[in-house]
Amino acid sequence: MKKKTVRDLEVADKRVLLRADFNIPFETATATITDDTRIRATLPTIEYLLARGARVILCSHLGRPGGLRDSKLSLRPVARRLAELLGKPVPLLEDCVGPLVKEAVGKLGRGQVTLLENLRFHAAEERNDPAFSAELASLGEVFVNDAFGAAHRAHASTEGVAHHLPAVAGFLMEKELRFLSAVREQPEHPFYLILGGAKVSDKVGVIQNLLDRVDGLLVGGGMANTFLKAQGLPVGASLYEEDKVAFARTLLDQAKSRRITCLTPVDVTIADRFDAAASSRVVPVAEVPTDWRIMDIGPQSSELYRQALADARLVLWNGPMGVYEFPRFAEGTRAVGHAIGAVKGTTIVGGGETAAAVHALGLADRMSHVSTGGGATLEFLEGRTLPGIAALLDA
């Protein structure tokens, strides 16, 4: 999927409206950012534009204020962090539209940058209101979308403004499309898909779209419970999706008939309650007690998965292997992460919870690409057309 990028624009002296994804985690009480990954990911695009004399107008959403102004969801912490990273002032405007905003943007000089206040303080943003889109677009002369994490939303700032301005991809958007398109269109082989997280239902579309392309499917996390149930194995007090057991059983049969390696846990780490300090032990999957919960894949499973990945040329990982937020139950995710990091081919981490896990475990620098998308990554891998990408000019 080829789209025009910032390289295709002449930006000197031009006002560039840049949609970023600054929807980042932070401590509300202290307005302290706890993970600035998404801010750093957009820096190459911002710095490229500033170095070429553009007048950069950044915009983003943060949280779900529901169309109301909420001081706790102000982008002020983002503006402060950006100023630190860029080494220059990043003033935060009081709003994202209106005469005062237009006046402030008009005073921007070459190589200067400003940040608009939270787009979602206006309900018109999520409605993709045409009048709001036009007013937002009037701030710029060209539009750059670097917010892959919001590309699956047809909002004013992701899709609407592209009807009014020449619209291209930023470097982060370009990178996301390059890596994820390779998975969707021309994957290298052997190609292994590793899926975890809580629910099978979150991954059904990805499985259905990629099953004909993969050489191996490795399952962990809470969704593995549904696959274990499909094999007639006990899951104790663990959560599983009753309405997806038949799907899991069919998938296992399809994988077998197509000679696709499909691995589910052979041992698991269990706990007597859902708690970081719970009593725990490792048991074979056939020996989960009725009143215990599966919290992670076990060491034998981790080793089995490591061996399976030894010849991989492409690995896509979406979903942790267990309750990695609790240190005692993070070992499966850590072990699989290290196994993926040792792969000699291309390794891609789906965004959201998986990206958070690899950053928390210090494994991000071992991966070829860690996606900044959550829902956008999944929808793209399902084969869907994302409105924020479709709106960009084709190369």
Residues with a known catalytic role: 38, 199, 352, 375
CA atoms within 13 A on the CB side of 228: 26
CB 12 within 8 A of CB 110: yes
Euclidean distance between CA atoms 65 and 218, whole angstroms: 38
> Can you spell out the DSSP letters for 327-362?
GGG-HHHHHHHHHHHT-SSEEEE-STHHHHHHHHTT
Partner residues linked to 290 by β-bridges: none
Contacts of 137 (CB under 8 A, 6+ apart): 17, 143, 160, 161, 163, 164, 165
> Can you spell out the DSSP letters for 62-108?
-S--TTS--GGG-SHHHHHHHHHHHTS--PBPS-SSSHHHHHHHHTP
Taking only Cα atoms into account, the Rg of the chain, rounded to an integer number of angstroms, comes to 23
Report angle CA 308, 311, 316 to the nearest 5 degrees: 70
Euclidean distance between CA atoms 314 and 378, whole angstroms: 17
CB 221 within 8 A of CB 197: yes
CB 267 within 8 A of CB 304: no
Nearest to 254 by CA among 283, 202, 228, 217: 217
Structure tokens at 319: 């979903």
The enclosing H or E element of 298 equals none
DSSP reduced 3-state for 76: helix
Euclidean distance between CA atoms 114 and 227, whole angstroms: 50
Using CB atoms within 10 A of its CB, is residue 30 exposed (0-12), middle (13-18) or buried (19+)?
exposed
User: Is omega for the bond preceding 190 within 30 degrees of 0, making it cis?
Assistant: yes
Structure tokens at 168: 């291209």
Euclidean distance between CA atoms 225 and 307, whole angstroms: 22
